[in-house]
Amino acid sequence: MDLSVEFAGIKSRNPTMLASGILGISYEVMRRVYDAGAGVVVSKSISVEHREGYRGPIIVKVDSGYVNAVGLANPGVDHFVQELSRYGYDRERVDATQQDDKSNSNDNSVPIIVNLVGSSVNEFVSMVKRLDHLSIIGYELNLSCPHVERVGLEVGDDPELVSSIIKGIRAVTKKPIIAKLGLGAVDMIEVARVAIDSGANAVTAINTIRAMVIDVETCMPVLSNRVGGLSGRAIKPIAVRCVYELYNAGVPVIGCGGVYDWRDALEFILAGAQAVQIGSAIGYRWLDVFKEINDGIKEYLARKGLKSVRELIGVAHRY
Ligand SMILES: Cc1cc2nc3c(=O)[nH]c(=O)nc-3n(C[C@H](O)[C@H](O)[C@H](O)COP(=O)(O)O)c2cc1C
């Protein structure tokens, strides 16, 4: 059974990816995620400067997922460059796409996409310039950072800014660029088209959805930031709808939001996703989730008499 897929010009041994923000800061942990079966690992969002993030509580479990407001805590781009250089990413990467489940001994064989967050063209471009000599396989742009000039909006709500950011990055790198979209104030299809026309190779849909939890005993919002982002099972049908519409609009798309098992992953693939990212499920099923999803897809392919998972991409659009 062939689980390999290709998205944004990246070849992956299977369609599962680690979603940004979940475990993707230290190389050792990213290696564990890859060894557990993920096809590609996406780092946590990296910013120009180190960010402390919000004080706790930063995450709360709800019936069908989590609400989090971490505040984009990360060590900053220079620290991340050092971290990856320590593990050989300042050399050419050993291509591990043909490897099966186990890694080889070359540390830099883990395929890492670096997720970047910023609020201006300069911030994004300066990070890419510092990272681009590394043998990382691409960039994912978190466009959910607050807009500096238009308070209340996010970067992704400003198609002109999105276009300038992507054009700016495209001018300094040949690596794949993936724009990660949320349910912002502007139609997702419009922002996705602008992203692709400006030089992005694919989009990831979706990021968390703004949400809130209040403790009825203390009468206080639970998260220190009051409002956070909902992830997990609760958002899956919304995310599947977004992927379906993006595929319909001809946008190459990676699905994300509420993937817990192989059925969820297949739902996204049938809607048109070329790969699927997994975040919150790790909190419930730990890293076993990657192998469980890949094994489940293999069994499904055998049962349906299919040879490759690629045959399933977008099939729901036939009906
Ligand atoms: C604790 C936590 C931290 C996250 N941090 C980031 C982040 O740094 N950058 C980003 O682009 N998305 C971040 N996300 C969003 C996830 O990558 C993903 O888009 C979202 O959680 C939906 O997928 P899921 O339902 O599989 O978790 C975070 C999600 C969670 C739960």
Q: How far apart are CA 117 and CA 45, in angstroms?
A: 6
Residue 273 CA, distance from chain mean position: 13
Phi then psi dihedrals of residue 10, to 5 deg: -100, 130
Q: What is the CATH number of the domain that holds 238?
A: 3.20.20.70
Q: Determine the Cα angle at 129 with ends 24 and 73, to 5°.
A: 30
In a domain, 270, yes or no: yes
Q: Is the CB of 70 under 6 A from ligand 1?
A: yes
In a domain, 220, yes or no: no
Q: What is the tens place of the pLDDT at every residue in 81-124?
A: 999 999 999 988 876 555 554 445 457 899 999 999 999 999 99
Q: Domain limits at 101?
A: 5-51+72-208+231-318
Answer whether 88's CB lies under 8 Å from 106's CB: yes
Q: Is the CB of 44 under 6 A from ligand 1?
A: yes
Residue nearest to atom 6 of ligand 1 (CA): 21
User: What is the pLDDT at residue 94?
Assistant: 77
pTM of the predicted model as reported, rounded to 2 decimal places: 0.96
> pLDDT tens string for the chain (319 positions)?
999 999 999 999 999 999 999 887 899 999 999 999 999 999 999 999 999 999 999 999 999 999 999 999 999 999 999 999 999 999 888 765 555 544 454 578 999 999 999 999 999 999 999 999 999 999 999 998 888 888 888 999 999 999 999 999 999 999 999 999 999 888 999 999 999 999 999 999 999 999 999 999 999 999 999 999 999 999 999 999 999 999 999 999 999 999 999 999 999 999 999 999 999 999 988 999 999 999 999 999 999 999 999 999 999 999 9
Please count the structural domains in the chain: 1
CA 45–ligand 1 middle distance (angstroms): 9
In a domain, 83, yes or no: yes
Q: CB count, 10 Å around CB of 122?
A: 12
Q: Is the CB of 204 under 6 A from ligand 1?
A: no
In a domain, 225, yes or no: no
In a domain, 214, yes or no: no
Which residues lie below 8 Å from residue 256, measured CB to CB, with a gap of 6+? 19, 180, 204, 205, 206, 207, 239, 276, 277, 279
Q: How far apart are CA 154 and CA 175, in angstroms?
A: 25
In a domain, 182, yes or no: yes
In a domain, 148, yes or no: yes
Atom of ligand 1 nearest to the CA of 65: 25
Answer whether 309's CB lies under 8 Å from 297's CB: yes
Atom of ligand 1 nearest to the CA of 144: 11
Task: Give me 114's structure tokens.
Answer: 């670096």
In a domain, 96, yes or no: yes
Answer whether 125's CB lies under 8 Å from 169's CB: yes
User: What is the pLDDT at residue 59?
Assistant: 96
Which residues lie below 8 Å from residue 295, measured CB to CB, with a gap of 6+? 262
